[in-house]
Amino acid sequence: MRLIGPAVVLALSLFVAPLAAAAQQAGKIPRIGMIVPGSASSFAPRTAAFRQGLRELGYVEGRNIIVEYRFADGRPERFRALADELVRLEVRVIVTLGTPATLAAKEASKTVPIVMANVGEAVDLGIVASLAHPGGNVTGSSYLMLDLVIKRLEALKEMLPNATQAAVLSNPINPFCFSCLSFGPTSSTGDVRAISH
């Protein structure tokens, strides 16, 4: 199982390091907001990994940093309210997990820095201008799911050369899932094509 990647902790540290120094001078502990799609219990191993990553960078919750966790408990319709709440708390940065949470945080604030993780097709969905130069207030890690979808379909075709159809289960609420299903001819040979959805 993949935990929160080092890239997210590193990106977050770029925002937090100057904040911690300023906070020590002012006597105020900086706050990080985190929006999590699941529940506190399902996210516990990742919370532990995130805290460990912060400790390795010299940050200890409650001592020189506060993390405001907000859990959607599997209800994506809660993302915007959770993002709005974190903005009202005046967190210095918001960490988002997944495409819908990132979109909600981006809608909630154009000024609070947002560090995204596990976001697919961030450029295609308008979350960032480009991966090299994201612009705006959003940065972090993204993956190009379409490339993976193509490779998986090509592998499936190799394993089952006589198959003429494949079904895809998808979450219709997640705009990232829709973008992965909205493609035409994809392989260099033109053999793999999207199936209507």
Distance of alpha carbon 156 from alpha carbon 128, whole angstroms:
32
Amino acid identity at 64: N
Render 138-170 in DSSP notation, one character per residue: EEEEEE-HHHHHHHHHHHHHHH-TT--------
Reading the block at residue 112, the tokens are 């609070």
pLDDT tens readout for residues 2-22: 444 555 555 555 555 555 555
pLDDT tens readout for residues 22-52: 555 556 899 999 999 999 999 999 889 989 9
Q: What is the pLDDT of residue 26?
A: 54
Render the chain in DSSP notation, one character per residue: ---S-HHHHHHHHHHHHHHHHHHHHHT---EEEEEESS-HHHHHHHHHHHHHHHHHTT--BTTTBEEEEEE-TT-GGGHHHHHHHHHHTT-SEEEEESHHHHHHHHHH-SSS-EEEEEEE-TTTTTSSS-SSS--TTEEEEEE-HHHHHHHHHHHHHHH-TT---------TT-HHHHHHH-----STTS-------
Pick from 197, 1, 17, 15: which is nearest to 118 by CA? 1
pLDDT in tens, the chain (197 residues): 344 455 555 555 555 555 555 555 556 899 999 999 999 999 999 889 989 999 999 999 999 999 999 999 999 999 999 999 999 999 999 999 988 999 999 999 999 999 998 887 788 788 998 878 888 999 988 776 666 667 777 888 888 888 887 776 666 666 666 555 555 444 444 444 444 43
Question: Domains plus CATH for the chain?
Answer: 6-143 (3.40.50.2300), 145-197 (no CATH)
- 8 A C-beta contact, residue 5 and residue 49: no
